[in-house]
Amino acid sequence: MVLVLALGDLHIPHRAPDLPAKFKSMLVPGKIQHVICTGNLCIKEVHEYLKTVCPDLHITRGEYDEDSRYPDTKTLTIGQFKLGVCHGHQVIPWGDLDSLAMLQRQLDVDILVTGHTHQFTAYKHEAGVVINPGSATGAFSSITYDVNPSFVLMDIDGLRVVVYVYELIDGEVKVDKIDFKKTTTPTNLPH
């Protein structure tokens, strides 16, 4: 059982002062094995805070990030799953599932984690899953109205991943979960 935290679009300090206190108290160091961050932290302090939650940190670049050395995309393998990360402002139209699916095919990953829209989505299609953890601080977005702070925790176990989404609605943390099973690799089509 491997726990992977996925979050992003915090926009500290431009659009939000800090992570919600209730989230901070849940993100206890030592419990999570990997952290994936879609980008737009934006400052070094947030990077360091995330490092204390878990040292294995993967970040991609958002358009407001202070550190321009974060890569545009990143792929990593956790257990049986290949994960891809990208902030998403590069994929036009923003938030369009088909275009994101194209990126997923390009990176050849089972799970694609992107952000930018500040809205939680988890979409399953033939090649795998596209997850958007939303904005961990509920930051203002020109794309989404009424953003609730949210983040995602993935529990990867063999060929199965359970996606837990945590949302802060009216001061209470609500949890939802979605199950995905990876099918065994399909046979190659003849060229």
Partner 1 sequence: MISDGVVEDEEKWLSAGIAGLQQNAFHMHRALDSNNLKDALKYSAQMLSELRTSRLSPHKYYELYMRAFDELRKLEIFFKEETSRGCSIVELYELVQHAGNILPRLYLLCTVGSVYIKSKEAPAKDVLKDLVEMCRGIQHPLRGLFLRSYLSQVSRDKLPDIGSEYEGRDADTVMDAVEFVLQNFTEMNKLWVRMQHQGPAREKDKRGKERGELRDLVGKNLHVLSQIEGVDLEMYKETVLPRVLEQVVNCKDELAQYYLMDCIIQVFPDEYHLQTLETLLSACPQLQSSVDVETVLSRLMERLSNYAASGSEVLPEFFQVEAFAKLNNSIGKVIEAQENMPIAGVVTLYASLLTFTLQVHPDRLDYIDQILGACVKKLSGREKLNDSKATKQIVALLSAPLEKYKDIDTALNLSNYPRIMECLNDGTHKEMANVIVQNILKNKTCISTAEKVDALFELIKGLIRDLDGDTHDELDADFIEEQNSVARLIQILHSDDPEEMLKVIETVRKHILTGGRKRLPYTVPPLIFSSLKLVRRLEKQEESVSGDEASTTPKKIFQLVTQTIEALTSIPVPELALGLYLQCAEAANDCDLEPVAYEFFTQAYILYEEEITDSKTQVTSIHLIIGTLQRMHVFGVENRDALTHKATGYSAKLLKKPDQCRAVYACSHLFWLDDHDSIRDEERVLLCLKRALRIANAVQQMANATRGSSGSALLFIEILNKYLYFYEKGVSQITVESIQDLIKLIRNEMQGDASPSDPAADAFLASTLRYIQFQKDKGGAVGDKYMLITD
**Following DSSP, what letter does each residue of 78-132 receive, concatenated?**
ETTEEEEEE-STTSSSTT-HHHHHHHHHHHT-SEEEE-SS--EEEEEETTEEEEE
**Closer to partner 1 at the Cβ: 1 or 189?**
189
Task: Identify which of residues 35 and 86 has a Cβ nearer to partner 1 in the complex.
Answer: 86
| Nearest to 59, CA basis, from 36, 34, 76, 83 | 36
Tokens at 116, concatenated: 């930018």
- Rule CB under 8 A: say whether 142 interacts with partner 1: yes
Q: Quick one: tokens of 46?
A: 């947030």
191 binds partner 1 (CB under 8 A): yes
Measured from the CB atom, the residue of 58 and 61 that comes closer to partner 1 is 61
Does position 106 interact with partner 1 (CB under 8 A)? The reply is: yes
Of 94 and 164, nearer to partner 1 (C-beta) is: 94
What is the spatial distance between Cα 149 and Cα 74, in angstroms, rounded to a whole number? Answer: 24
126 binds partner 1 (CB under 8 A): yes
Q: Which of 1, 93, 171, 184 binds partner 1 (CB under 8 A)?
A: 93
Of the candidates 127, 159, 162, 178, which one interacts with partner 1 according to CB under 8 A? 127
